[in-house]
Structures are given as structure tokens and as C-alpha cells.
Amino acid sequence: MLELPAGWDWEIHRYDGWRLTLIGDVDLTYHWNREVIFCDVTHLACPFQFCDPIFREPTPRELASVREDEPAVVVAFDVEDMPCLIAAESVAIRHGTVMRR
């Protein structure tokens, strides 16, 4: 399971159909402090911006829905009452402050 800070704001910063970059911080107005980069994304079901996600293990049903693509990484989380799922071949986490332009 992906371990990320609780109580943060998150948004999709960039997605080109292959690589997805999520950015997060306590407030995304001026900067962010975490990037989560998924490569070779095969499934993406989450809102563009979200707050306070609860990361969890994917359910058997969620795993079955992406099994055909055989992703190495499946990340599940809930935003309020909405289940979200990202499946990809790899994930990397970058730490460090990046200012908005």
C-alpha cells in the first residue's frame, strides 16, 4: 500500500496517457512538496483535484477489474464516499518543495 501523508490536497499535475504525476501538499496554492509519478498507466479513476484521501488496499473486485492489464502497481483510495483506483507498471515518489509558476 502507498504510504502518503494524511490531510493533504492532491491534484493531477500532468498526464500524457502514459505518465501520471500527482502533486500534494497541505495547501497547493503556491507550491507542493510531494510528487507521485506513475509510469505506464493502464487504469485511472480519480478526480482531477481531491482532499484528504484515505489510501487502502484494493478490494478483490478492484483487482479483478485491472487484472487483464497485469499492472505491477495498483493504488486504491477513497475521496469522501468515492472509490478511486490507479493501475500502472511503476510508481516513484519525489520529495522537495516545487514552487508554482
Mind listing the pLDDT tens digit of every residue in the chain (101 residues)?
788 888 899 999 999 999 999 999 999 999 999 999 999 999 999 999 999 999 999 999 999 999 998 999 999 999 999 999 999 999 999 999 999 98
**Beta-sheet pairing, 73-79 with 54-56:** antiparallel
33 Ramachandran zone, left/alpha/beta (phi>0; psi -120 to 50): alpha
pTM: 0.93
Give the CA diameter of the chain: 41
- For position 79, what pLDDT does the model report? 95
Contact 101, 88 (CB under 8 A): no
